[in-house]
Amino acid sequence: MAELTQRRSSLRRRPEVSTPTGSPITHRTLRRLAVASLVANVAIVVTGGAVRLTSSGLGCPTWPRCTDESFVVQGELGWHGALEFGNRMLTGLLAVVAFATWVAAMRYRPRRSSLRWLATGLAVGVPAQALIGGVTVLTGLNPWTVSLHLLLSLAMIGLAVLFIRRVDEADEPSRPTVPHAVRVLAQLTFGVCWLVLYVGTVLTGAGPHAGDAEAPRNGLRPALVSQIHADLVFLLVGLTIATVLSFKAVGAPQRAQRAATWLLVLEVAQGVVGFVQYFTDLPVLLVGAHLLGAALVSAAVTWMLLGVRDRGSSERVTT
């Protein structure tokens, strides 16, 4: 009798399995698409930076067409036009990846509203990026819209990291993995990190590499903004060191400790690149490396913050 009761209880619990056999979308497939979304969003930051650093921002002088007469680049626009048009095409690839991820999240069984909302956010972010990019072109590369364009890309990277993490998690109530004070420290580090990223985009709008020789600047003093940016970086590095040591002291999950350590490594590397590029008159290769670093910092700080809570592990069943 006890054995029969146990068997019935097991049958009642079976619907909780994350990916039942026969589901059209496996955990592995969804996770691969999530990683592809992250990679694509990082790539769009790098290629967008290449467009700006080569003064190709107005290679296609209008939007949504490349020229008033054509949607595609014309030969007379030269390699600047080809580079800008190529970046627009990469946005199309990003849209394909985002749509595929959204479809996979919708087909995943059992239904998980958390994954559906995150996948929808990633999908909606693509046309939002395209719209801001269009406004940027139509306003002659206004530095404030250029800044917003980059910030949205960095936010999309963070959202993609969150999506990857939620794919691996269950939908249990969130449980803290570290004491409250350490959690507040991690949140403060996250907030200061985003302040550093924002001021970095403002600094970009004050300096050279506007994307076009005739593009306007924001009118702020580059030396002053650089000093503010550097001061915030020092604060961020100090907070990150404190976070790394605190995570280790309280026995935070290994994934959280690794994320905090990688964040610190990236911040130090970014600081070195930033100082070198400042004292060498901003060579384009170093500025491009700094943009890639900003994208990786956004990913790492999100992963670090996610380490202060846990929702259980989703059961992986390969079909």
Please, which residues have CB within 8 angstroms of residue 295's CB and are 6 or more apart in sequence?
41, 42, 45, 46, 153, 154, 157
The predicted pLDDT at position 267 comes to 96
Going from the N-terminus, what domains does the chain have, and what CATH number goes with each? 25-171 (1.20.1420), 174-312 (1.20.120)
The predicted pLDDT at position 198 comes to 96
How much is the average pLDDT of 281-310? 92
Tokens of 92: 């199309």
In the predicted model, is pLDDT for residue 23 greater than 60? no
Band of pLDDT at residue 91, cut at 50, 70 and 90: confident
The predicted pLDDT at position 260 comes to 97
In the predicted model, is pLDDT for residue 314 greater than 80? no
The predicted pLDDT at position 238 comes to 97
In the predicted model, is pLDDT for residue 56 greater than 80? no
The predicted pLDDT at position 40 comes to 93
In the predicted model, is pLDDT for residue 160 greater than 60? yes
The predicted pLDDT at position 219 comes to 81
In the predicted model, is pLDDT for residue 197 greater than 90? yes
pLDDT averaged over every residue in the chain: 84
The predicted pLDDT at position 78 comes to 67
More reliable by pLDDT, 179 or 170: 179
- What distance in Å separates the CA atoms of residue 18 and residue 171, rounded to the nearest whole number? 10
- Of 62-71, 83-92, 139-148, 254-263, give the range with the top mean pLDDT: 254-263
In the predicted model, is pLDDT for residue 61 greater than 70? yes
The predicted pLDDT at position 207 comes to 74
Tokens of 139: 């306003």
> How many alpha carbons lie under 13 Å from residue 67 in its C-beta half-sphere?
12
Residue type at 306 in one-letter notation: L
Burial of 92 (0-12, 13-18, 19+ CB in 10 A): exposed
pTM: predicted TM-score of the whole model, two decimal places: 0.86
Nearest of 56, 160, 72 to residue 115 by alpha carbon: 160
More reliable by pLDDT, 9 or 63: 63
Give per-residue burial for 15-54: e unless 16+ CB within 10 Å, then b.
Answer: eeebbeeebebbbebbbebbbbbbebbbebbbbbbbbbbb
The predicted pLDDT at position 211 comes to 64
The predicted pLDDT at position 158 comes to 96
How much is the average pLDDT of 149-155? 94
